[in-house]
Amino acid sequence: MQRRGRGRPRKLREGRGRPRSQPRAPIRQRSRRRQPPVDEAVIAQEERRRDIERRVNALSSNELRVTLMTVVQENLEYLFNILREPHLRKSGPSQPLWCVCTFCKEMPTQKEQLCCQKSEDSCISRLPDFDVLMLDEAVLSLARIYRQDILAMPEDEDRNRANRYTAYRQFVLWHHGKLSIGDRRVIPSCCVCRIREKFPDPYGQYEGFKDGLLQ
């Protein structure tokens, strides 16, 4: 066998051979928005809520009462939650959670957070007797004169403050009767606010409820 002699390598003719690899242009893909995953549990819960709502709306008034009584008998805590919840009653944005009559306001101490526990239409602070006994200046003036004669106390120069304190005493006497020495009662917030609205302090400073002997 004859060996191939050494020499120059063969040259490739033009147009023959493999072409040089050239970088390909990147393929542009259309951006696709990813759809949020579907939460089947949320959908099922919403369908269940709608089904319950349809069933409840189809009940008559008598059937609603019977159903509510059945639920309450089995779960008494539901009844207390219903009675406590303020959003089930007509109320303003500043109504405290402990208020029932819708006329109370927030008070500075826990003891003063007291409501008359009446409905909006029968709130004690809106009764005609309350207007006469606690807000009528002639009645308050007469009660103050009688008390000054008994205790020999000087007249308070602040007319509104004198009327407020007299109105507080009038309410306790009207609502609780004559109390023994040292027995003090908290006045419902709705009644206190009504008295303060009628006889306000110019600086909004009020003493509030204090334990101790009546003055």
Q: How confident is the model at residue 22 (pLDDT cuts 50, 70, 90)?
A: low
**Better pLDDT: 140 or 181:** 140
The predicted pLDDT at position 105 comes to: 93
pLDDT digits (tens, 9 = 90+) for 147-174: 776 666 677 788 999 999 999 999 999 9
DSSP secondary structure code for residue 203 in this structure: T
The predicted pLDDT at position 84 comes to: 46
* 150 φ, ψ (degrees, to nearest 5): -75, -45
Domain boundaries of the chain, sorted by first residue: 43-84, 92-215
**For residue 44, pLDDT beyond 80:** no
Q: Hey, what are 69's tokens? A: 């009584």
Q: In this structure, are residues 137 and 110 in contact, taking their beta carbons and an 8 Å threshold?
A: no
Percentage with pLDDT > 70 across the chain: 63
How far is 15 from 168, CA to CA, in rounded Å?
114
Q: For the whole model, what pTM was predicted?
A: 0.53
Q: In this structure, are residues 193 and 102 in contact, taking their beta carbons and an 8 Å threshold?
A: no
DSSP string, 64-116: HHHHHHHHHHH-HHHHHHHHH-GGGS---TT--TT-SSS-----SSSTT----
Mean pLDDT of the chain: 76
Q: Hey, what are 49's tokens? A: 């809520």
The predicted pLDDT at position 157 comes to: 80
The number of angstroms, rounded, from the C-alpha of 11 to the middle of its chain's C-alpha atoms is: 93
Percentage with pLDDT > 90 across the chain: 31
Q: How confident is the model at residue 53 (pLDDT cuts 50, 70, 90)?
A: confident
